[in-house]
């Protein structure tokens, strides 16, 4: 056995050298690992009796790619392409043994080898696009040669993982084996290669799928057109397409050079920094600070959900999906049946998209039971209330629940803005009351705001955070303030947008500015989608706002073919003259003088209001750090990922400029633009939100 460095060692088994990488936690290909592999391969090529080489990884997974922590720093040789060139040009066969995940540079390393053996439960992917870059070690040049242009375009721009069996079908791996015998099987496979004197398969030499006499322009044009909406605003997908175009139009080495140049351009741009921020922010959000309970978590084996409506049903699905029995409660069998039908319909939609099997649907539905008796929640470890957003109704439910739920059961409310302390106060177990704010549709949206009320204990908090991971949610711990983090900042933007349309901007003006900024839709289109009547009380309405008037006119948004926009039967929207008249009349009645409003003013008033609210949330301790606010808004509210989130975006502008803009807005539009104290402090110190 020879140790190259503390991340790479070599063992020799009957003429097969095993180069083993061990760089926890995910065998990232940092400088030391690259150097270790480079030297290890050169070393074993010199040993006469080594006939073949197996590259494997220790730990939970094969390499997941380049070390993200090295990005933005000077490159340390050898580069990954140089390491892979040594592998590909080896005169001795090199076989990689993949377990866990082969991602990014890890999969590129595997593609530079001559053969690839994978555990049948392994996964492969090129997720670079999620970091705003592209595979920069030959992925865009080798993959098209192996699987063809169309599959390469889909695979690399999606950034998604595929199963080992799919990889086998694509020709990306040569054999699947049992995970327990992976290394032995790889050694055996290597011995077979040697015994049969099998050829050294170099992907770079494959030409049939990228033959120069074929015209691929139609594939590329069609792909660009079909994905324009999905790729809108992102740079990396277009760069990936250009790199794959080079794979069919240039010799391999020239294609490699172009790939590197395109990678360097992206690395030098703003988007990858934002996307790396989002990557690390999401992971930071999920980590609960070490607590007195040392993050012990309660065992959650059965879940109760109160309310079988859209939210309750979606929430229940999260737990059914991980095999937990769920008892769902509503006021009538009819409501329960409606809820059950909705859940099954959601699953059947996933079935149609190939994301689930009939058997899985049946297994999950079998875990669901319904009741109209709250007492049936008695044996649940966690009960989540998801009823109408009315504090008195919630208090009444928690009062009853407190007398029914077993000791130690966690009682959660799904409220999106109400005071969790007030709900906890009606129980004798406030330390076991928490907010679990799911986002609709709750079975799909990944964000989960975990609301820590003043008495919520550490065990409850740690359990909620752990459960968020189990149901594949991005859990963010937030404080118990109105609207928590997401809705409070949304209200800041919405409030400014509603002022703007009274002062002269149109709803479609405001929507376009925010759509062009990168949001999937503007605030008024979103209001119409969600329904103007959400939160509207028809028994207590008197034309106090434009929204009340539209509701009183029966204009509840898309579902009534009219709200701020008019909608045809295909739900195509057009600016509504009716809504425009309502706005103008309302402004007149309230002596608001209308004027032309620039896109720039709309941009600054809505976006800087959000940043200022985020700063207030930070200084009040409602968010533990600025990156949590970014995680909430990127994951749950459509802030363009390539801009990193409101706080990261403000840092890129510079907080001095942010404060000056707010001071100017305060002078022109009122003291609600007064910069938060924290913002002024950071600006004066030349600081940033990154340290908050
Ligand atoms: N570099 C450094 N650290 C990484 C890392 C990476 N690539 N990936 C994960 N980690 C750390 C992570 O920060 C966390 O650290 C721990 O590992 C567990 O991660 C040339 C240029 C692999 C699916 O984009 O998608 O190759 O907080 O909490 O949920 O073409 O991590 O514990 O200290 O996320 O099980 C391409 C990114 C790089 C993969 C595992 N590769 N990683 O998810 O655990 S660019 C990627 C992931 C590249 C080449 C290009 C996920 C995961 P800590 P985790 P997980």
Q: Is residue 630 part of a domain?
A: no
| Same domain (yes/no): 388, 466 | yes
Q: Whose CA is nearest to atom 36 of ligand 1?
A: 104
522 lines ligand 1 (CB under 6 A): no
Q: Which atom of ligand 1 is nearest to the CA of 65?
A: 26
Q: Is residue 434 part of a domain?
A: yes
Q: Is residue 494 part of a domain?
A: no
CATH of the domain at 460: 3.40.50.720
CA separation for the pair 216, 207 (Å, rounded): 14
CB 18 within 8 A of CB 41: no
651 lines ligand 1 (CB under 6 A): no
Q: Residue 534: its pLDDT value, please?
A: 86
Q: Residue 354: its pLDDT value, please?
A: 86
User: 326 CA distance to ligand 1 centroid (A)?
Assistant: 33
Q: Whose CA is nearest to atom 15 of ligand 1?
A: 25
Q: Whose CA is nearest to atom 51 of ligand 1?
A: 64
| Same domain (yes/no): 353, 312 | yes
137 lines ligand 1 (CB under 6 A): yes
131 lines ligand 1 (CB under 6 A): yes
108 lines ligand 1 (CB under 6 A): yes
Q: Residue 289: its pLDDT value, please?
A: 67
| Same domain (yes/no): 422, 528 | no
Q: Is residue 663 part of a domain?
A: no
pTM of the full predicted structure?
Answer: 0.93
* Backbone φ and ψ of 57, nearest 5°: -125, 145
105 lines ligand 1 (CB under 6 A): yes
| Same domain (yes/no): 439, 583 | no
314 lines ligand 1 (CB under 6 A): no
Q: Residue 14: its pLDDT value, please?
A: 84
User: 27 CA distance to ligand 1 centroid (A)?
Assistant: 9
Pairing of strands 565-567, 573-575: antiparallel
Q: Which residue in 526, 539, 506, 510 sits closest to 604, CA to CA?
A: 510
| Same domain (yes/no): 329, 473 | yes
The contacts of residue 605 (CB under 8 Å, 6+ apart) are 496, 499, 500, 665, 669, 673
Q: Which atom of ligand 1 is nearest to the CA of 159?
A: 24
Q: Residue 293: its pLDDT value, please?
A: 54
What single DSSP character describes residue 152?
Answer: H
CB 295 within 8 A of CB 462: yes
Mutate to test the pocket of ligand 1, among 23, 26, 29, 142 (most ligand atoms within 8 A of CB): 26
| Same domain (yes/no): 263, 309 | no
579 lines ligand 1 (CB under 6 A): no
Q: pLDDT per residue over 158-172, tens digit each?
A: 999 999 999 999 999
CB 176 within 8 A of CB 168: yes
Q: Which residue in 471, 456, 469 sits closest to 424, CA to CA?
A: 456
CATH of the domain at 546: 1.10.1040.50
Q: Name the catalytic one among 128, 185, 245, 548.
A: 128
Q: Which atom of ligand 1 is nearest to the CA of 26?
A: 17
Alpha helices in 326-470 (DSSP H): 333-352, 358-366, 391-404, 420-425, 458-470
84 lines ligand 1 (CB under 6 A): no
| Same domain (yes/no): 319, 238 | no
Q: Is residue 362 part of a domain?
A: yes
Q: Is residue 373 part of a domain?
A: yes
Pairing of strands 175-177, 368-371: unpaired
Q: Residue 600: its pLDDT value, please?
A: 98
Q: Whose CA is nearest to atom 52 of ligand 1?
A: 64
DSSP string, 192-206: HHHHTT-----GGG-
User: 286 CA distance to ligand 1 centroid (A)?
Assistant: 15
User: 149 CA distance to ligand 1 centroid (A)?
Assistant: 27
Q: Whose CA is nearest to atom 25 of ligand 1?
A: 127
Q: Which residues of the chain have pLDDT under 50?
A: none
How far separated are the first and last CA of the chain, in Å rounded? 48
Q: Residue 292: its pLDDT value, please?
A: 52
Mutate to test the pocket of ligand 1, among 64, 82, 131, 158 (most ligand atoms within 8 A of CB): 64
| Same domain (yes/no): 441, 509 | no
State the sign of the Cα–Cα–Cα–Cα dihedral 344, 349, 352, 357: negative
Active site residue 91: no
Q: Whose CA is nearest to atom 32 of ligand 1?
A: 25
CB 170 within 8 A of CB 151: yes
25 lines ligand 1 (CB under 6 A): yes
Task: Tell me the two tokens of residue 171.
Answer: 């020709």
Rg (CA), the chain: 28
Q: Name the catalytic one among 20, 39, 88, 108.
A: 108
| Same domain (yes/no): 521, 583 | yes
Place of tokens 């990954």: 80
User: 181 CA distance to ligand 1 centroid (A)?
Assistant: 26
User: 354 CA distance to ligand 1 centroid (A)?
Assistant: 27
Task: Tell me the two tokens of residue 454.
Answer: 């003043």
User: 199 CA distance to ligand 1 centroid (A)?
Assistant: 34
Q: Is residue 284 part of a domain?
A: no
287-307 burial, b for 16+ CB within 10 Å, e for fewer? Answer: ebeeeebebebbebebbbbbb
| Same domain (yes/no): 560, 455 | no
| Same domain (yes/no): 141, 262 | yes
Active site residue 128: yes
| Same domain (yes/no): 39, 149 | yes
628 lines ligand 1 (CB under 6 A): no
Q: Is residue 560 part of a domain?
A: yes
282 lines ligand 1 (CB under 6 A): no
Mutate to test the pocket of ligand 1, among 24, 68, 132, 236 (most ligand atoms within 8 A of CB): 68
217 lines ligand 1 (CB under 6 A): no
Q: Which atom of ligand 1 is nearest to the CA of 139?
A: 30
Alpha helices in 408-543 (DSSP H): 420-425, 458-470, 486-503, 507-517, 523-530
> Is the peptide bond prior to 23 cis by the omega test (within 30 degrees of 0)?
no
411, 413, 414, 417: CA torsion to nearest 10: -150
Task: Tell me the two tokens of residue 215.
Answer: 């015209």
Task: Tell me the two tokens of residue 105.
Answer: 């540079």
Structural domains of the chain, count:
3
Mutate to test the pocket of ligand 1, among 278, 283, 446 (most ligand atoms within 8 A of CB): 283
Mutate to test the pocket of ligand 1, among 25, 123, 474 (most ligand atoms within 8 A of CB): 25
CATH of the domain at 175: 3.90.226.10
What range does the domain containing 550 cover?
505-589
């Amino acid at each position: 056995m020879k140790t190259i460095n503390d991340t790479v060692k070599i063992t020799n088994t009957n003429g097969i050298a095993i180069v083993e990488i061990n760089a926890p936690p995910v065998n990232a290909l940092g400088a030391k690992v690259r150097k270790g592999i480079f030297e290890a391969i050169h070393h074993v090529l010199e040993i006469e009796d080594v006939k073949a080489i197996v590259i494997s990884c220790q730990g939970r997974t094969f390499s997941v790619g380049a070390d993200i922590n090295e990005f933005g720093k000077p490159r340390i040789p050898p580069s990954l392409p140089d390491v892979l060139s040594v592998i590909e040009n080896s005169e001795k066969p090199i076989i990689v043994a993949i377990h866990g995940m082969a991602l990014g540079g890890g999969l590129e390393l595997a593609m530079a080898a001559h053969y690839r053996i994978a555990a049948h439960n392994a996964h492969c992917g090129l997720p670079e696009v999620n970091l705003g870059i592209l595979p920069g070690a030959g992925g865009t040049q080798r993959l098209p040669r192996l699987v063809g242009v169309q599959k390469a375009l889909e695979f690399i721009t999606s950034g998604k993982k595929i199963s080992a069996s799919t990889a086998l079908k694509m020709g990306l791996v040569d054999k699947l084996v049992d995970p327990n015998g992976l290394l032995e099987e790889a050694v055996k496979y290597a011995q077979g290669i040697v015994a049969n004197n099998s050829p050294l398969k170099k992907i770079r030499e494959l030409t049939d799928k990228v033959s120069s006499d074929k015209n691929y322009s139609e594939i590329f044009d069609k792909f660009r057109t079909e994905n324009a909406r999905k790729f809108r605003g992102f740079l990396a997908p277009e760069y990936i397409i250009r790199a794959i175009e080079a794979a069919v139009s240039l010799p391999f080495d020239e294609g490699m050079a172009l790939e590197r140049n395109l990678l360097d351009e992206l690395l030098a741009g703003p988007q990858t920094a934002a996307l790396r921020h989002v990557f690390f922010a999401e992971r930071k959000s999920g980590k609960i600070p070490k607590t007195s309970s040392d993050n012990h978590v309660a065992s959650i084996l059965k879940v109760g959900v109160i309310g079988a409506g859209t939210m309750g049903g979606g929430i229940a699905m999260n737990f059914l999906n991980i095999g937990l029995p769920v008892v769902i409660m509503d006021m009538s069998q009819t409501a329960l049946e409606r809820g059950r039908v909705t859940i099954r319909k959601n699953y059947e939609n996933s079935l149609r998209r190939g994301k689930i099997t009939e058997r899985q649907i049946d297994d999950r539905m079998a875990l669901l039971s319904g009741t109209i008796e709250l007492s049936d929640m008695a044996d649940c470890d966690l009960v989540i209330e998801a009823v109408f957003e009315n504090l008195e109704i919630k208090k009444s439910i928690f009062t009853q629940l407190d007398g029914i739920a077993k000791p130690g059961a966690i009682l959660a409310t799904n409220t999106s803005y109400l005071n969790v302390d007030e709900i906890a106060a009606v129980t004798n177990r406030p330390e076991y009351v928490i907010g679990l704010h799911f986002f609709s549709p709750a079975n799909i949206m990944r964000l989960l705001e975990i609301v820590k009320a003043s008495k919520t204990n550490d065990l409850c908090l740690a359990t909620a955070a752990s459960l968020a991971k189990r149901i594949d949610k991005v859990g963010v711990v937030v404080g118990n303030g109105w609207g928590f983090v997401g809705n409070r900042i949304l209200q800041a933007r919405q409030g400014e947008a509603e002022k703007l349309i009274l002062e002269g901007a149109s709803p479609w003006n405001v929507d376009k500015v925010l759509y062009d900024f990168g949001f999937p839709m503007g605030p008024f289109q979103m209001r119409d989608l969600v329904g103007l009547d959400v939160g509207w009380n028809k028994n207590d309405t008197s034309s106090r706002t434009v929204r009340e008037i539209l509701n009183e006119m029966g204009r509840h948004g898309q579902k009534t073919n009219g709200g701020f926009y008019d909608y045809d039967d295909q739900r195509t929207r057009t600016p509504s003259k009716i809504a425009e008249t309502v706005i103008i009349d309302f402004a007149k009645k309230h002596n608001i003088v209308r004027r032309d409003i620039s896109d720039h003013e709309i941009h600054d008033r809505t976006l800087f209001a959000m940043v200022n609210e985020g700063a207030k949330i930070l200084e009040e301790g409602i968010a533990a750090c600025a990156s949590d606010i970014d995680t909430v808004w990127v994951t749950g509210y459509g802030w363009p990922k390539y801009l990193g989130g409101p706080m990261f975006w403000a840092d890129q502008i510079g907080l001095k400029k942010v404060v000056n803009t707010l001071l100017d807005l305060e002078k022109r539009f009122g003291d609600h633009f007064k910069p938060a104290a924290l913002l002024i402090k950071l600006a004066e110190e030349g600081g940033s939100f990154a340290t908050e």
